[in-house]
């Protein structure tokens, strides 16, 4: 605390991101980054953008990127919003669309940034428990609310709802905004983007950080009815006119256009995940069914925090959450086959001790 702080800052409980250690040779399986680099076409587009034109502001509306996203998702550019990572898109969404009298609903176990935004913008919220099997049951969300936000697939469980379940929920929930955070959707789940033309209260949020391997470029997006997008534009234009710089716009356009590279790398990650799940189950782990580039696993005989510490001594870092209900789980990012092999070997040694 410092006496110059505003009362808002005094009350904040900020999000704690996974660490980015500077230790060389580390196997980093803690923040769900893509183990493969971005498309070579992205790197070329970035290099081309490093030019005299950097003295000029970028396009405040990122029209080129909005058009590229619209083309890929079969929507109109007015149905697309882009921002500095999906975290920024989420922040604007909370303020623009989810702040109401009635509480915002989200699962008790989900992306831990959601309650942080509620704290920042003073939004009332209610946590809805996952089932005993760590599933989301959308019938539990059929109660008066000021909005609903669901990560699909959910994080950190990795488990996904079917689009038909989301559709059935939306048919009975026209009163408030329903946000689906699809940060991991490309690793095996179904996108609900196809529903936006039928439901003017549905907003889909995606990111280029995971499946497009661009966590370092900071690009996220939202797709929905033009009326919802206009609300996001109003907040954005009251906050920062230029959230995406010239490099981010060019790199993101190239990433959206290189479908072959996208398909190749996401398939590799899915194949490695299936192998990793099989190996961990072979070591006695219980692994939740994952549709993500990470898995969520617990060992019936070993404390999760101790396992994480032992892995760290072997230069492998994974994510452990101290939160109730999940404090015996480890969240492990799917790396390359080689990295996952080193992980299972290390776990086999640790469990053998």
Q: What phi, psi does 302 have (nearest 5°)?
A: -130, 140
Min CB(89)–ligand PLP separation in Å: 8
Min CB(204)–ligand PLP separation in Å: 12
Q: Which is nearer to ligand PLP, 242 or 342 (CB)?
A: 242
Contacts of 29 (CB under 8 A, 6+ apart): 294, 316, 317, 318, 332, 333, 334, 335, 339, 343
Min CB(90)–ligand PLP separation in Å: 6
Min CB(137)–ligand PLP separation in Å: 19
Give the residue from 15, 14, 18 showing the smallest Cα distance to 333.
18
Min CB(156)–ligand PLP separation in Å: 8
Q: Which is nearer to ligand PLP, 123 or 183 (CB)?
A: 183
Min CB(300)–ligand PLP separation in Å: 27
Give the residue from 22, 295, 79, 117 showing the smallest Cα distance to 203.
79
Q: Which is nearer to ligand PLP, 135 or 197 (CB)?
A: 135
Min CB(155)–ligand PLP separation in Å: 4
For residues 151 and 174, give the distance between their C-alpha atoms in angstroms, rounded to a whole number: 19
Q: Which is nearer to ligand PLP, 35 or 220 (CB)?
A: 220
Q: Which is nearer to ligand PLP, 138 or 149 (CB)?
A: 149
**Strand, helix or coil at 267?**
helix
Give the residue from 173, 241, 171, 181 showing the smallest Cα distance to 205.
181
**Strand, helix or coil at 82?**
strand
Cα–chain-centroid distance for residue 226? Answer: 23
Q: Which is nearer to ligand PLP, 136 or 350 (CB)?
A: 136
Min CB(80)–ligand PLP separation in Å: 15
For residues 14 and 8, give the distance between their C-alpha atoms in angstroms, rounded to a whole number: 12
Q: Which is nearer to ligand PLP, 34 or 207 (CB)?
A: 207
Q: Which is nearer to ligand PLP, 153 or 347 (CB)?
A: 153
Residues near ligand PLP (CB under 6 A) are 85-87, 111, 151, 155, 181, 183, 207, 209, 215, 220
For residues 66 and 76, give the distance between their C-alpha atoms in angstroms, rounded to a whole number: 9
Min CB(86)–ligand PLP separation in Å: 3
8-state DSSP, 17: P
Give the residue from 349, 213, 347, 197 showing the smallest Cα distance to 287.
347
Contacts of 144 (CB under 8 A, 6+ apart): 102
Query: Backbone dihedral region of 171: left (phi > 0), alpha (psi from -120 to 50 degrees) or beta?
Result: alpha
Q: Which is nearer to ligand PLP, 77 or 243 (CB)?
A: 243
């Amino acid at each position: 605390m410092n006496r110059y702080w505003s009362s808002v800052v005094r009350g904040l409980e900020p999000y704690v991101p996974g660490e980015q250690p500077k230790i060389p040779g580390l196997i980093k399986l803690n923040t769900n980054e893509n183990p493969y680099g971005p498309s070579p076409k992205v790197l070329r587009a970035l290099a081309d953008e490093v030019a005299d034109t950097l003295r000029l502001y970028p396009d405040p509306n990122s029209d080129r990127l909005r058009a590229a996203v619209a083309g890929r998702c079969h929507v109109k550019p007015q149905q697309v919003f882009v921002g500095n990572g999906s975290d920024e898109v989420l922040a604007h969404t909370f303020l623009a669309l989810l702040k109401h009298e009635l509480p915002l609903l989200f699962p008790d176990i989900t992306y831990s940034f959601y309650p942080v935004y509620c704290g920042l913008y003073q939004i009332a919220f209610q946590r809805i428990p996952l089932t005993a099997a760590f599933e989301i049951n959308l019938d539990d969300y059929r109660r008066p609310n000021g909005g609903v936000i669901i990560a699909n697939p959910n994080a950190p469980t990795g488990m996904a709802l079917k689009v038909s379940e989301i559709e059935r929920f939306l048919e009975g929930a026209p009163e408030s905004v329903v946000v689906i955070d699809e940060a991991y959707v490309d690793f095996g789940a179904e996108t609900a983007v196809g529903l936006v033309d039928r439901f003017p209260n549905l907003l889909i949020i995606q990111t280029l950080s995971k499946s497009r391997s661009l966590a370092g470029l900071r690009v996220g997006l939202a797709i929905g009815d033009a009326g919802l997008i206009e609300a996001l534009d109003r907040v954005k234009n009251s906050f920062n006119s230029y959230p995406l710089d010239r490099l981010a716009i060019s790199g993101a356009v190239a990433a959206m256009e290189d479908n072959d590279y996208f398909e190749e790398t996401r398939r590799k990650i899915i194949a490695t995940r299936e192998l990793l799940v099989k190996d961990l189950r072979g070591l006695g782990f219980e692994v939740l069914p994952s549709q993500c580039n990470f898995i969520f696993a617990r060992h019936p005989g070993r404390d999760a925090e101790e396992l994480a510490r032992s892995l760290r001594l072997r230069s492998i870092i994974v994510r452990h959450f101290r939160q109730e209900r999940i404090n015996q789980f480890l969240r492990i990012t799917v790396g390359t086959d080689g990295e996952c092999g080193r992980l299972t070997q290390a776990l086999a040694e640790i469990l053998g001790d």
